[in-house]
Amino acid sequence: MRRFAAAALLALPALLAFGRGGYFGVARVRVAILACLLLALAAFVAERPLPRSRNGRLALGGLAALTAWTGLSLLWAPVGGPAFADLERLILYTAAFGAGIVLLKGIDWVEPALLVTIVATAVYGLSERLLPTLFELQTLPSAGDRLAHPLTYWNGQGALAALGLVLAAGLASRGHRLAAAAAPIIGLDLYLTLSRGAIGAGLAGLAVLLALQPTKATLRAVLVTGAAAGLTALAALALPGVADVDGSSGQGAAMIVVLLVLSGAAYMVRGSDAPLPVLRPLATTALVVLLAGTVIAVAVSGSQGPASSTDAERLVSVQSNRYGYWRVAAGVFADHPVAGVGSGAFAVEWLQRREIEEGVRDAHSLYLETAAELGLVGLLALALFLGGIAAAARRGPPTLVAVLVAFALHAGLDWDWELPGLTLTALLVAAKLLAEEQ
């Protein structure tokens, strides 16, 4: 019964991903109901319905408190619809996270199951690029040529692919060669989203994996998955028809051959699992350089650019309208530091404070948006949730930790929290991390 319930829980990210990322109400509510039923089932089959470990109780309590505070903020939120949508989303997250802590203990196929879902989304999104005569997905004018399906948001789809790349490397380091073979597909999906933040988050996740698990097997896995992903990007540059949303039959067929060759090569690579202590300082240095370089580039640029840029040149630019979003969010928090302006209220504040003519619903940062909308109380609840996970991560499996670091970084740059198809994947990884503490 418990394993069946665990399988059902691990299927929820797929239901959300193929339901337009779960951003809209119908898919979100249906999956929230399923998550609540699974939570009730978990409480029924478990010896103790609540987490036994301190970290588990802290994380689940923090998320539950964030949910309750979001619901309470309906009393002062200027617009009820977005606030209620936030509440629905958090009920889904809390139920799935709580069920996961109970149901995923001892389940050794959590990572493969999540990777299969991510590969499935990549194949779906790539279908119209590689086989345009057979597949035609819904046109998304705002995406331009950026790959956005099935989540329907290119940066969200890119972040999901980045998590998949880290999962693939982690599984490959433990001898799962099929995971390495999936890297070219995930890498092409990631590249075609043209998501700078997602690519950076994926690189950071791989660096964390190397730092936490400094063995030859890990180095081999990271190099193989990274090289496979990078070579597909180079192939896409040589086959520009693949980057076109309308696709090119000839170039799509050529890319399929490239993917098959690279997947076969990645599958064939073998290596030993001997320790390689020098990897830890090197990987840590690389991670620090990556993060410091990002911060410096943003600080030096500090410039706003056209958010609609959809060509590959955006990958070498730090121009973005996010600086404007973050500036407004910080100003809102300064004016309403305790309780915030209410869940879902950033869009209203943006219209009053913006310096550019653009309609925006979210602050494009989980942390800044929580500060602006829910104030110090919301930040405290979020800190408890993240703190419990971080404390468990100190002794957690390196792959799970690396995936969570990649997600946490990207969540600070975009509205991942509003895309359940992406966020639930990370939450189930966190639930697995905490489940093994029980």
pLDDT along the chain (438 residues), means of 10: 92 96 93 96 82 92 98 95 96 97 94 98 96 91 92 96 97 94 97 94 95 92 94 94 88 96 90 65 72 58 51 65 91 97 96 88 96 98 98 95 97 96 98 91
Does residue 187 lie in a domain region?
yes
Question: What pLDDT is recorded for position 288?
Answer: 74
The four Cα atoms 397, 101, 403, 161 give a dihedral, to 10 degrees, of 140
Q: Quick count: other Cβ atoms within 10 Å of Cβ 175?
A: 13
Say how far apart CA 102 and CA 274 lie, in whole Å. Answer: 34
Query: What contacts 181, CB < 8 A, 6 or more positions away?
Result: 263, 264, 266, 267
DSSP letter assigned to residue 215 = B
Provide the pLDDT for residue 173: 93
| Encoded amino acid at 180, one letter | A
CA triple 210-216-220, angle to 5 deg: 75
Q: Model's pTM, two decimal places?
A: 0.94
The torsion region of residue 292 among left (phi > 0), alpha (psi -120 to 50) and beta comes to: alpha
10 Å Cβ neighbour count for 272? 10
Q: Kindly state the DSSP code that residue 315 receives in the 8-state scheme.
A: G
* Cα–Cα distance, 335 to 114 (Å, whole number): 41
Q: How many CB atoms lie under 10 A from the CB of residue 274? A: 8
Identify whether 161 is part of a domain. Answer: yes
Residue 67 covered by a domain: no
Report pLDDT for 307. 46
Residue 261 within any structural domain of the chain: yes
Domain membership flag for residue 398: no
Q: Is residue 352 part of a domain?
A: no
Domain count, the chain: 1
Domain that holds residue 225: 107-316
